[in-house]
Amino acid sequence: MHKTPDSFCRTAVLYFIFIWLGVMVFAPNLLVLLASFLTKDAEWYLRLPLNLQNYVALTDTALLEIIVKSFSLSIATTVFCLLVGYPFTCIIARISKDYRILFLMLIIVPFWTNSLVRNYALISILSKDGFINTILLKIGLIKSPLVLLNTNFAVFVGMCYTLLPFMILPLYAVLEKIDRSVIEAARDLGAGSAEVFFKITIPLSFSGIVAGCIMVFLPALTLFYVSDILGGADISVLGTIIRNKFTVDKDWPIGAAISVSLTVFMLLLLKLYFKSGNTVEEERQLW
Amino acid sequence: MNEQHSLLELKGLTKFFGVNKVLDDVDLVINDGEFLTLLGPSGCGKTTLLRLIAGFERPTSGKILMNGKEISHLPPNRRFVNTIFQQYALFPHMNVFDNVAFGLVMKGIEDEVIEQEVFKALEKVKMSQFYARFPSELSSGQQQRVAMARAFINNPKILLLDEPLSALDYKLRQEMQIELKELQKDLGLTFVYVTHDQEEALSMSDRVVVLNEGMIEQVGSPIQIYEEPKNMFVAKFVGEINVFDGMVLKVDDSNFDTVVEGMFYQLRKPKAFEVSRGSKIKVLLRPEDMVVSKVNSAEMDAPENALRGVINHLVYKGRTIDLWIQTAGGNMIMATQFFNEDDPDIIYAVDDVVNVSWIKDWEVILPDA
């Protein structure tokens, strides 16, 4: 078949993308999956025989405790981001276009700064002689500085701060699309503000809620640098454990087993998300 | 119609959006049980007027009274008014049953009664077999019917319709016009209907309100609006019309003399305003009021009261034929002729020379503003 330069370029780009995905995504994941069934080796990191021991080790109580704590933190972060992000997004979806762009910019622009840097900035706000303590001491609300840094609270603040936009942007995408006249129709038919919110706005934005929650919940499990920077040595998230298993304990098989379990969990959540997205999409065909 | 009793009164309604005056001191009385149409070009304020009645907007000044009680400050959910939206605005996440039931659920009515009422309403719009469908699974005509059932099930005092047929194709629109009118009679409800389609307004309404730039130009029955337009705007907006400039020469008790396109005419004095000698007037004539006759070559001059013209363009429409006639005075006249089997003259061709006159006393005289 005769090929034009244009179609050659297209084929080349496609091949490049597939090779890239294969080398950088598919192969490493396969290696991690394989590693999770191998045995720890002091010198070579991994050796035969294949076994399921690493997965059994996940039920270790110390590890389970961290998993539970990490999940609790993720849930708290998700709930907070949803409770703050939803009303905020409702407002920006309604206000006039000029302000809307301004508000969206206020959310997006900080994202262009590395989140590591932004979390370091939080230290200066939360530390003993930081912004919050200085203010509270000045107005005399407290006598001695509060311990904010290196607590669960600090990690929670860091997670919420880092992940709030991941809640707002998917919510905005659905809330902005809700037809004003549907809301007006509900009011016209006798619904008060609360009824409009629970019977119309929330159901119509459900796919956005699910997407936002997943995009906050999953990173909150693994953003180890937030807990490193703001939580100190004592507070770990699941991401911290995985990193430590690989780099500190040199226990690759266990680290791999945790990673694989987490990936499977994420896939299940994503499946849930696509399912909810599809049903809403079907109902939305009208619009 | 029953005896006229006013249901809704609009008093001096004015609405600004920013610095734009959308409605300017509108006074209007809406009678119980009537089919009232708000007609006007886009941007005339007709939709804003509807939204003020529905409660989606608050007037900048003026009052809305229902049965004598002011309702201007009430939110939409506390007015006895329901709206059918232009794009229907059905709830996409609910099926037909739940959409129609919504208003009754909001009122806290028990489930069994709701079920009966919903099916009764769906029966009326011939949609009962579709109760489990979602809006996305319905055609636009079916969605229209559901939107109607969803609104009238609440038994409102007034049903507001915002260009409800504009999204439908021509044939379906014709059918729905009849259905809507039937439904209105059947329910005995007051309809306030917004449209920019003058044909729709004339064929469905008891009364038509012609709006332009936020002001009411004329209120009247479809016949009054069409036959006796009060001003040039109404005359030109509703239907086709020919406009001639005239000059008043002489006035007596019931008639006056004028000259139109160089021809003398004696016309009846208009009731609405005083004609005086030397004043300029407009003489308005509908295309179907024009009388056209072919000129025989033997005939030299135009007969009295007839203008001489040449057919510029013609459109055959089956029952009628539309002619565009260029007069010697430079006017383009539109004339609609009905076919008459016995009349051999009906076969016209472009460039035919014709005489044009009109049926006496069918003209409308307006002052030349």
The answer to whether the CB atoms of A204 and B92 lie below 8 A apart is yes
Give the model confidence (pLDDT) of B3-37 as tens digits. Answer: 578 899 999 999 999 889 999 999 999 999 999 99
pLDDT at A283: 46
Chain A positions touching chain B (beta carbons under 8 Å): 179, 181-182, 184-192, 195, 199-200, 203-204, 280, 282-287
**Residue type at B265 in one-letter notation:** Y
Q: Which residue has the tokens 């013609």?
A: B314
For B102, which residue in chain A has the nearest alpha carbon? A189
Of all helices (H) and strands (E), which one includes residue B222? Answer: helix B222-227
CA distance A47 to A34: 11
Tell whether the model's pLDDT for residue A160 goes beyond 60.
yes
CA distance A109 to A89: 16
Q: What does the H/E/C string look like for B130-188?
A: HCCCCHHHCCHHHHHHHHHHHHHCCCCCEEEEECCCCCCCHHHHHHHHHHHHHHHHHHC
The answer to whether the CB atoms of A188 and B150 lie below 8 A apart is no
pLDDT at A98: 84
Q: If we measure between CA atoms, which residue out of A252, A220, A204, A229 comes closest to residue A36?
A: A252
CA distance B210 to B232: 12
Q: Which residues of chain B have pLDDT under 50?
A: 1-2
Query: Please, are residues B247 and B258 in contact by the beta-carbon 8 Å criterion?
Result: yes
Tell whether the model's pLDDT for residue A1 goes beyond 60.
no
* Chain B nearest CA to A181, separation (Å): 6
Sequence-ordered list of residues with C-beta below 8 angstroms from that of B232, at least 6 positions apart, any chain: B243, B282, B366, B369
| B25, B54, B72 from B16: Cα distances, Å | 11, 17, 15
pLDDT > 70 fraction of chain A, expressed in percent and rounded: 94
The answer to whether the CB atoms of B82 and A189 lie below 8 A apart is yes
A35 exposure class (CB count in 10 Å sphere: 0-12, 13-18, 19+): buried
pLDDT at A276: 63
Phi, psi of B244 (to 5 degrees): -115, 145
Q: Which residue has the tokens 């454990």?
A: A241
Tell whether the model's pLDDT for residue A97 goes beyond 90.
no
Which residues in chain B have Cβ-Cβ distances shorter than 8 Å to A192? 77
pLDDT at A250: 84
Q: If we measure between CA atoms, which residue out of B44, B36, B13 comes closest to residue B160?
A: B36
Which among B87, B102, B135 has the least Cβ separation from residue A189? B102
The predicted model gives A56-81 an average pLDDT of 89
Which among A184, A199, A283 has the least Cβ separation from residue B92? A283
CB-CB neighbours of B244 under 10 Å: 21
Selected for mutation to probe chain A from B74, B77, B138 (highest A CB count within 10 Å) is: B77
Higher pLDDT, A82 or A225: A82
Sequence-ordered list of residues with C-beta below 8 angstroms from that of B275, at least 6 positions apart, any chain: B248, B251, B256, B269, B281, B365
pLDDT at B2: 47
Reported as a pLDDT band with limits 50, 70 and 90, residue A186 is very high
pLDDT at B268: 86
Any A CB within 8 A of B92 CB: yes
The answer to whether the CB atoms of A187 and B75 lie below 8 A apart is yes
The answer to whether the CB atoms of A280 and B90 lie below 8 A apart is no
Query: Please, are residues A156 and A76 in contact by the beta-carbon 8 Å criterion?
Result: yes
Give the model confidence (pLDDT) of B107-158 as tens digits. Answer: 999 999 999 999 999 998 889 999 999 999 999 889 999 999 999 999 999 9
Copy the structure tokens of residue A53.
Answer: 């021991």
Tell whether the model's pLDDT for residue A285 goes beyond 70.
no
The predicted model gives A232-258 an average pLDDT of 85
Query: Please, are residues A179 and B87 in contact by the beta-carbon 8 Å criterion?
Result: yes
